[in-house]
Amino acid sequence: MSDTSLKHLAIIMDGNGRWAKERGLKRTKGHEKGAETIRDITTYCANHPTIETVTFYAFSTENWKRPKLEVEFLMKLLDRYLKNELSTYQEQKVRFKAIGNIGALSKPLQKRIAQTEELTKTNTKLIQVLALNYGARAEITTAVNQLIAEGKKSVAEEDISSALQTPYADIDLLIRTSGEERLSNFLLWQLSYSEFHFTPTLWPDFTASELDDIIKDFKQRSRRFGGA
Ligand code: FPP
């Protein structure tokens, strides 16, 4: 069995800080440039014939350990990004969804997220998922606790899959930029049969053209899902 159609792409965006350092700039400049890359890659995905969902790891539960000013900057940047992005979402027919512990974010940011989800909910070309304050173990634990609260004594895999925050197709391809080769608690359940691609390119330098090459390589792979 081989299925190389790409429906769900997931990306661990890494290397903003190093990109800025290489240029003698503040780390925040790297994040700003990284936000522009999200826009370019989302537009590419919206115009790709088979991609239905793209999920970006934007802020992990561990990212709170960064210096307070950097965290504050990232939160402001996210708010600005969602505000400015609305026209692109509508033009490109992209539906926005957030996953993660959104309730722990500031109230204005929660409002912006809810509004953006609401305003884009009928867009059908692509779902752009931003993982914000996200951790996969927490997501799985919350799902299992929800099933217990519903009265389940034992659970099937499908029960867990449907109780997760990500009711999208399993991930076909995961890309991590900047040369690191780790999952960092990202979508552990949904990545079970994913193909992985690690690129040394730093996230702010990542382009639609490199993504196109990675997808060509992905299509050459034989995915057997454990079969012969
Ligand atoms: C890692 O770079 C990147 C992140 C903290 C996540 C991605 C964040 C952005 C692209 C910023 C904008 C996001 C949105 C949604 C507007 P790093 O700081 O870990 O880089 P380093 O490993 O080189 O230090």
Q: Which of 197, 192, 227 is nearest to 214 (CA)?
A: 197
* Whether residue 63 lies in the annotated active site: yes
Pocket test for ligand 1, best of 11, 12, 13 (most atoms within 8 A of CB): 13
Side-chain-side CA neighbours of 181 within 13 Å: the count stands at 6
Alpha helices per DSSP H over the chain: 16-22, 27-46, 68-92, 107-119, 136-149, 157-163, 208-220
**Residue 195 CA to chain centroid, in angstroms?**
15
* Whether residue 101 lies in the annotated active site: no
Residues of the chain under the 50 pLDDT cut: 1
Q: From the CB of 129, is ligand 1 less than 6 Å away? A: no
The predicted pLDDT at position 156 comes to 93
Q: What is the reported pTM?
A: 0.94
Buried b (16+ CB within 10 A) or exposed e, 87-107: eebeebebbbbbbbebeebee
Gap from CA of 225 to ligand 1 centroid (Å) = 32
Gap from CA of 58 to ligand 1 centroid (Å) = 7
Q: Length of the chain, please?
A: 228
Contact 218, 4 (CB under 8 A): yes
Helices and strands, number each (H, E), in the chain: 7, 6
Count other C-beta atoms under 10 Å from residue 83's C-beta.
12
**Residue 149 CA to chain centroid, in angstroms?**
28
pLDDT tens-digit readout, 73-100: 999 999 999 999 999 999 999 999 999 9
Gap from CA of 202 to ligand 1 centroid (Å) = 10
The predicted pLDDT at position 2 comes to 52
